[in-house]
Structure 1
Amino acid sequence: MPTDLRLFGIRHHGPGSAASLVHALDAYQPDIVLLECPADAEAALAAATHPEMRPPVALLVYNPKQHQQASFLPFAEFSPEWQAIQWCHRHGAHLRCFDLPMALRFGTSLPGLLSLREGEPARDSSPDAAPDQPPTAQPQPADFPQQPEPAHHQEKEPESDQQPNSEQKLKLEPEQELKLVPPLPEDRELRGEVPRDPISYLAELDGYADGERWWELRLEQAPGHADTFAVVLDLMTALREELNLPETEETLLREAFMRETLRATLQQGYQRVAVVCGAWHAPVLRPELLKKEDKACLKGLKKVATAATWIPWTFERLSTASGYGAGVGSPAWYELLFTTPRAEVVTHWMVRAARLLRSRDLDASAAHAIEGVRLAHTLAAVRGRELPGIEELQEAAVAILGGGYPETLELVQRELVVGERLGAVPPEQPATPLQQDVQLQQKATRLKPEATARTLDLDLRKELDLSRSHLLHRLRLLDICWGEPRRAQGKAGTFHELWELQWQPEYALNVLDAGRWGNTVLAAAAARAASRAAEAPDLEAVSQLLAEALQADLAPAIGALVARLETLSAGTRDVTHLLAALPPLVNVLRYGNVRRTETAQVATVVHHLVPRLCIGLPPACTGLDYDAARQLLPRLEGSHQAIRLLQDEAQETDWYAALAGVLRNPASSGLLAGAAGRLLFDAHRLSPEEAATFLGLALSPAQPTSYATAWLEGFLSGSALLLLHHRPLFDLLNDWLGELPEDTFREIVPLLRRAFTDFSLPERRQLLDLSRQGHQPAAVVGEEDYDLERGLQVLPGLRELLGF
């Protein structure tokens, strides 16, 4: 008895294709279904029918020895492949994956895969955009362009009973018909104007500018028809013959492997064979085509071992906006379109939108929803469409529910167009030891992975919150950035941590990759931290890493980090690195007890580091130009605050002596000398009289103007309080400005503005009021001692200097 072969060309993640496929399989009742899915993922498909499996989910196929080689194959409830899997399970039909195995893709040096190893996304050029491999260097779905794969043969398909001739039409909607594509016009062929993708060409012939939109309206929003695939096959056959677009080597291998698998299946004696594949591939998946060429093409390909498992996926990652080439623009809308009766889908969507807005305390009544439905149907009628699409629904929602402002409906866009759903997989799915430990830690800390972003406020004095903080910090050390730290406002910063949590599906691959460091989160994070410390080039990197390790409570790694820190500090002569390394270490000592971590080893390093820093600081501040001094200034100020936090009198004395050396050394940078003077003055190690003396020396005529302005900038350093509360300092500055020649003053005004630019507006006003009072020496003087006319001459320049 001859085999009956049926080809079902689908659009990946298309609700209309999925509905039509279920009708077609019910009518055909195949013995076996060949599914366009990597052959080495076939065994894992059995778990797709598990009761606890809730799409969206993704099949992760990866190389266990090189986790960067991985591929996500996402599925949603409205994916035709998912419905084919469920149909086979319900009816007891055999299911076989017949696409090129990932073992061959990972092991074969294909042009598309070579770019993956360089960190660029792989590209499948078919218009159906199969959910193939993502960049192996970056675990995320591939970005497929819309350029299609053309046919690599000129043989025409033999006609069968299921294929209509070129005069047949597919009735997609009761009042609209779609004719098959005519040949490519000769004038376009002569001009070489080949459309960028065949679907856009079809849309253009039907009067649409957007091929994706045309396919959605004509096929995905249409009710399911079992005979849809015969016309789709005719469309794709005509397009491949007429357009004759270039193809990729990867596509040749994929189609060759699919044909070889199809031939082997037919030889096994199945009576009814169904092929479910991307619509673009369907015309060339005939067993009689290219037999010798296929065997030669597939001969000698290298392969690697692969493993497969299921992971939760999200609608956001299924959307086109995520960069997924086979993605859709509105996954949540597609799910509603697939699961809701066609006559009720518009009402359901608008009611959900109104409820969502009301849940956020926004005005959205039942009357609004009714008017929104009416407007959506009116827009569809004006545009000649039987059923409103997502564009009509969004426009109606903006007009009725949003009052004409689209910004109001960003929430609706996020939840009802794209969607925020995170799928679920059975807990017994194959997992590495580290994956299992991550799941255990998530349960123990009551942190559930969620697709929606949420804020987590932790109080480190509580056991549960402290364990949550440790887990999030450990995962960050493993490059699993589930949580992003945020600055806590208005709370005790030492006891509170603020995190922004959002679980991304690709973190599953990060967990796989991190498994090489250990079987538990603690062991893996500790090993990773020790490895990073061994590779760290300077003291600053190690000190920052040590602070992160202590935040994560990585006791097994502290010894290695401290040893590396001691090694680098002993050989480091660059004061810049010492200045950068000190603040993180001091913060560990000062606040480590909040996390209940042992910091004795760190204290030993710090107490050896400070004396070396004090000795090297004065020479390091000499011979620097302004730009170099500007880079060193924040590190100098940070180390000053860190040493004050230590509350060690002996080390503070050494530090202030070093600052005094910088201040008194004539070769010191003016910016750093002024900053040293301010720090000493703030610490009451420099009296007002001494500060006035040093300011007078810096502003004396013997000093270059550039040095004087830099010294002044460092001394004031964003605060006008020194001038406001110490009148002798203000008078010195006032006299120096008044004695400058006009040409010199105009030349240095831009330089001086840097010293005053960070002053607040109230401070500027107080300085201006103080300048109007005139010169007041320390002793009480009479009014006759004032030279008002001379004092007023300073005001225009002072106003310009202060920005008034």
Structure 2
Amino acid sequence: MSATEAPGGVTFLGVRHHSPACARLVAATVARLRPAYVLVEGPADLNGRMDELLGDHELPIAVFTAHRDGTRRHASWSPFCAYSPELVALTAGREAGAQLRFIDLPAWHPALSDRANRYADADQRYAEAVRRLCATLAVDNVDALWDHLFEIGPDDGLAERLDTYFDVLRGESAAGADDTAREAYMARWVRAARHRAGGRPVLVVTGGFHRPALVRLTAGPDGTGPDGAGPEEDDWPEVPAPGSDAVAGSYLVPYSFRRLDAFVGYQSGMPSPAYYQRVWEDGPRRAAEALTEAVVARLRTRRQPVSTADLIAARSMAGGLARLRGHAHPGRVDVLDGLVSALVTDALDQPLPWATRGTLAPGAHPVVVEMVAALSGDRVGRLHPDTPLPPLVHDVDAELERHRIDGREAVELDLTDTDDLARSRLLHRLRLLDVPGHTRESGPRVGADALLTERWSPAPSGDRLARVIEAGGYGPTLQDAVTARIEERVTLLGADVDGLATTLFDTALAGLPEHSTRTLTAIARATGAVTDLRALGRALAVALALWRHDRLLGSAGTAPLGALIIAAVRRALWLVEGVRATAAPADPGRLTALVAVRDAVRHAGPALGLDPADALAVAGRVAADAGVPPDLRGAALGLAWSLGDVPDAARAVRVVAAPDTLGDWLGGLFALAREEVVSGDAALLTVVDELLASMGAHDFLVALPALRQAFGWFPPRERAAVARHVQALHGGDAPPGDLLRLDADPLLVAAARAAEERVDAVLTREGLWEGDGT
């Protein structure tokens, strides 16, 4: 077995990250060479912490690096599992007595600033070469190509096949400036190691994309580059340091197979970590058998019927596909295709996930989803107890203990109590840092009546320690970290008033008054130019909630909030008059915005000087304008009605009685004046009943979806009042509750809901549905 060697005994192994075949090759090469130095692509700033990295951890783990300065924040992960060639190189190298070095730039360096994962493959750089290889070998994508060429086949000649493969790919691709800088830096380490080794072997393990460049850069005399340049001294390259105004640090974090899986977004390109773990431990033949067993066991656990005949059929199909594809025994795709052919009898409306690249798409067949989950596995890493942790971990633990919050128990809070309010703010700060542990079930929410209680339920997570460590990149204490997180969010949101509004409410819940003020200033600055009525309505609802409910959030009646409310109401009324479309469907977002306008005029108008006459004038013009969408015309009439100007709604509804406009108009009216509709003159409901009774079957089916959406604005109590009125019109005497109760088999209802969810997923995937009724 051999690999590319430069003069003086430097051996280069180009690998694919998280490849069992490459890991086996690395281990065998270390055993054969017993090198003086093992150089690995990885963060050079971690070289003084090899003992920490190679401690007695339960894999997978990752090196997490965070960097923050005045211009950017960067977070990066360098994950390792048992079959990561880089970690195998370090472990085997230490056992062989070699000196170990990481040779790449630190993760926070600008050359890596566009990477959240150091070991993300460079597939996009050589996509054309991969496409041609896949077409020639009749495989779907680079994962199937890799298995076909390397994972399933014999280890004999593996190094030469890898060299040829990466030479072909790199030969057709030009490295960018970032890769060039990294490769020049790594080459300096190679030359220095060669100089220090004094003729003893040096092994260099890097991603295959970099190997050809490193061979070229160290191919000159005495290991220098082609032009003869290179360090002649005995010094290692200097490790770059962060800027004087930067905060940077690296820590080990527990990782999980789920986070390693390409099907859930990991960038390494190697999917199905549980499967490849079995390949590493038992070889590809036994891994294929275990894969079938794992999928069947998972499906049976979830009460999916899988018979012995199905299992035999799946294995027979996998074996046949393997022979057809030239494999000595079934590989991952062979087994998966065999299982699908035996277990999935429905038509599939999207490609199988292993036939494409990227994440698992919404709407995938349930059996396929379980198959992918079985391949992913549920293993979660664990750090050795002596592993150094960032200060934030200790600060969070101390705060939770000080506030008597146990991660195994639900937390019931009375927000009028000082101690409970402090506990609530602690939990909200952890939520803002994406630290799992508790999930809020109830409490103050935008647009709802003020609640004085809050409930959090325990939500244990295997990723909790990792998430706290990662949050430590924002600061050493909980206060510092959440402050930096909010500052970052406000900066990134820019003029996004909807996102800023959410942030404003979050800062209030977390007890961060200074950041509430900064966020409020950003919203106020953006309000004058915003053109999205829905986003403006969200901001107005948040500002109004904060202005009204001071006991919880300490912000009631403040002048900045009042100024924002005034500006948002005026801007929203101006935007409403500019909406033009005669047949647009109802838009719940803009209706909710008008609800916020109504509430602002009702509850804050007298104190802030908002004149209801201004809103009534706009409502009158919009309600009478045939060029305005029906839902806004109905909402305008409802706005006037809710502000005391009682209209002739029964006459107005006859104007929009067409099947394709009636439901949308009613949706707007009910959104703004549902209480008035129920408690006031019942003439409107009588007319609606007459219009529906006069419709033919076709017209009724046309009107039905929008009508369902319209009556969805009524809560159960008010629906019962509507039911009583309709029943009185038709001489019925059944209890109103019976009219609202669906007389159907619950299993049938559940099946219908599942079918609707699948339809929604397909529509969303095809860009025909936005999940909000549009």
- Shared fold, TM over 0.5: yes
- 2:100 partner SS: strand
Q: 1:201 to 1:301 in 2, by over 3 A?
A: farther
Deviation at 1:14, TM superposition (A): 1.0
Q: 1:409 to 1:293 in 2, by over 3 A?
A: same
Q: Which runs of 5+ in 1 are unaligned?
A: 108-112, 114-132, 149-194, 449-455, 701-709, 736-751, 772-804
Match of 2:51 in 1: 46
Match of 2:193 in 1: 265
Q: 1:697 to 1:381 in 2, by over 3 A?
A: closer
Match of 1:135 in 2: 114
**Does residue 196 of the first structure (1) align with residue 174 of the second (2)?**
no
Conserved 8 A contact 2:67-2:473: no
Deviation at 1:16, TM superposition (A): 1.3
Conserved 8 A contact 1:337-1:345: yes
Letter matched to residue 511 of structure 1:
A
Match of 2:20 in 1: 15
Separation in structure 1 between the aligned mates of residue 285 and residue 480 of structure 2, nearest angstrom: 56
**Does residue 390 of the first structure (1) align with residue 332 of the second (2)?**
yes
* Residues 249-260 of structure 1 aligned to structure 2 (within 5 Å): 249-260=177-188
Separation in structure 1 between the aligned mates of residue 686 and residue 397 of structure 2, nearest angstrom: 68
Please give the per-residue CA displacement for 1:40-72, whole angstroms capped at 9, x wherever unaligned: 332343322111352142453757776635543
Q: 1:391 to 1:633 in 2, by over 3 A?
A: closer
Match of 2:471 in 1: 511
Separation in structure 2 between the aligned mates of residue 202 and residue 732 of structure 1, nearest angstrom: 69
Match of 2:146 in 1: 215
Letter matched to residue 135 of structure 1:
D
Equivalent of residue 373 in structure 2, options 415, 420, 439:
415
* Residues 548-627 of structure 1 aligned to structure 2 (within 5 Å): 548-554=506-512, 560=517, 583-585=541-543, 587-588=545-546, 597=552, 599=554, 601-603=555-557, 624=577
Deviation at 1:508, TM superposition (A): 7.3
Please give the per-residue CA displacement for 1:304-324, whole angstroms capped at 9, x wherever unaligned: 437433233343443444665
Please give the per-residue CA displacement for 1:772-798, whole angstroms capped at 9, x wherever unaligned: xxxxxxxxxxxxxxxxxxxxxxxxxxx
Separation in structure 2 between the aligned mates of residue 200 and residue 252 of structure 1, nearest angstrom: 25
Q: 1:592 to 1:76 in 2, by over 3 A?
A: farther
Equivalent of residue 106 in structure 2, options 102, 106, 114:
102
Separation in structure 1 between the aligned mates of residue 397 and residue 140 of structure 2, nearest angstrom: 47
Separation in structure 2 between the aligned mates of residue 541 and residue 381 of structure 1, nearest angstrom: 54
Separation in structure 2 between the aligned mates of residue 147 and residue 618 of structure 1, nearest angstrom: 48
Separation in structure 2 between the aligned mates of residue 610 and residue 346 of structure 1, nearest angstrom: 62
Deviation at 1:95, TM superposition (A): 1.2
Range 71-80 or range 497-506, more displaced: 497-506
* Residues 265-344 of structure 1 aligned to structure 2 (within 5 Å): 265-269=193-197, 271-279=200-208, 281-282=210-211, 285=215, 287-289=218-220, 291=224, 293=226, 303-305=240-242, 307-321=249-263, 326-344=268-286
Q: 1:764 to 1:477 in 2, by over 3 A?
A: same
Count of residue pairs the alignment pairs up: 644
Identity percentage of aligned residues: 21
Deviation at 1:78, TM superposition (A): 1.0
Please give the per-residue CA displacement for 1:137-158, whole angstroms capped at 9, x wherever unaligned: x67875623545xxxxxxxxxx
Equivalent of residue 235 in structure 1, options 159, 164, 175:
164
Letter matched to residue 372 of structure 2:
R
* Residues 332-371 of structure 1 aligned to structure 2 (within 5 Å): 332-364=274-306, 369=311
- 1:33 partner SS: strand
Deviation at 1:87, TM superposition (A): 1.3
- 1:333 partner SS: helix
Match of 1:144 in 2: 122
Equivalent of residue 662 in structure 1, options 603, 616, 622:
616
Deviation at 1:135, TM superposition (A): 1.2
**Does residue 84 of the first structure (1) align with residue 75 of the second (2)?**
no
Deviation at 1:386, TM superposition (A): 1.6
Deviation at 1:504, TM superposition (A): 10
Match of 2:477 in 1: 520
Deviation at 1:583, TM superposition (A): 3.9
Conserved 8 A contact 1:14-1:80: yes
- 1:24 partner SS: helix
Deviation at 1:496, TM superposition (A): 5.1
Q: 1:666 to 1:88 in 2, by over 3 A?
A: closer
Range 288-297 or range 377-386, more displaced: 288-297
Deviation at 1:90, TM superposition (A): 3.0
Conserved 8 A contact 2:635-2:672: no
Conserved 8 A contact 1:39-1:97: yes
Q: 1:636 to 1:412 in 2, by over 3 A?
A: closer
Conserved 8 A contact 1:479-1:510: no
**Does residue 474 of the first structure (1) align with residue 429 of the second (2)?**
yes
Letter matched to residue 60 of structure 2:
P
Conserved 8 A contact 1:55-1:77: yes
Conserved 8 A contact 2:78-2:117: no
Conserved 8 A contact 2:139-2:145: yes
Match of 2:391 in 1: 433
Q: 1:472 to 1:666 in 2, by over 3 A?
A: closer
Conserved 8 A contact 1:319-1:418: yes
Match of 1:155 in 2: none
- 1:42 partner SS: helix
Separation in structure 2 between the aligned mates of residue 711 and residue 147 of structure 1, nearest angstrom: 53
Q: 1:478 to 1:139 in 2, by over 3 A?
A: farther
TM (normalized to structure 2)?
Answer: 0.62
Conserved 8 A contact 2:13-2:26: yes
* Residues 389-788 of structure 1 aligned to structure 2 (within 5 Å): 389-402=331-344, 407-426=365-384, 429=387, 431-434=389-392, 436-438=394-396, 460=413, 470-471=425-426, 473-475=428-430, 477=432, 494=451, 495=454, 511-515=471-475, 519-525=476-482, 545-554=503-512, 560=517, 583-585=541-543, 587-588=545-546, 597=552, 599=554, 601-603=555-557, 624=577, 634-641=592-599, 658=612, 662=616, 670=624, 678=638, 691=647, 722=677, 726=681, 760=711
Separation in structure 1 between the aligned mates of residue 652 and residue 685 of structure 2, nearest angstrom: 14
Letter matched to residue 391 of structure 1:
V
Separation in structure 2 between the aligned mates of residue 385 and residue 81 of structure 1, nearest angstrom: 28
Letter matched to residue 220 of structure 2:
L
Please give the per-residue CA displacement for 1:415-444, whole angstroms capped at 9, x wherever unaligned: 222334443334655554345435666887
Task: Choose 1 or 2 for highest CA Rg.
Answer: 1
Conserved 8 A contact 1:543-1:581: yes
Separation in structure 1 between the aligned mates of residue 278 and residue 371 of structure 2, nearest angstrom: 14
Separation in structure 1 between the aligned mates of residue 163 and residue 666 of structure 2, nearest angstrom: 81
Q: 1:765 to 1:267 in 2, by over 3 A?
A: same
Letter matched to residue 482 of structure 2:
A
Separation in structure 2 between the aligned mates of residue 308 and residue 483 of structure 1, nearest angstrom: 27
Conserved 8 A contact 1:10-1:279: yes
Range 539-548 or range 89-98, more displaced: 539-548
Separation in structure 1 between the aligned mates of residue 437 and residue 241 of structure 2, nearest angstrom: 31
Q: Which runs of 5+ in 2 are unaligned?
A: 1-6, 243-247, 349-364, 626-631, 656-663, 691-702, 713-718, 731-774
Deviation at 1:328, TM superposition (A): 0.9
- 1:30 partner SS: coil
Letter matched to residue 429 of structure 2:
R
Conserved 8 A contact 1:473-1:551: yes
TM (normalized to structure 1)?
Answer: 0.60
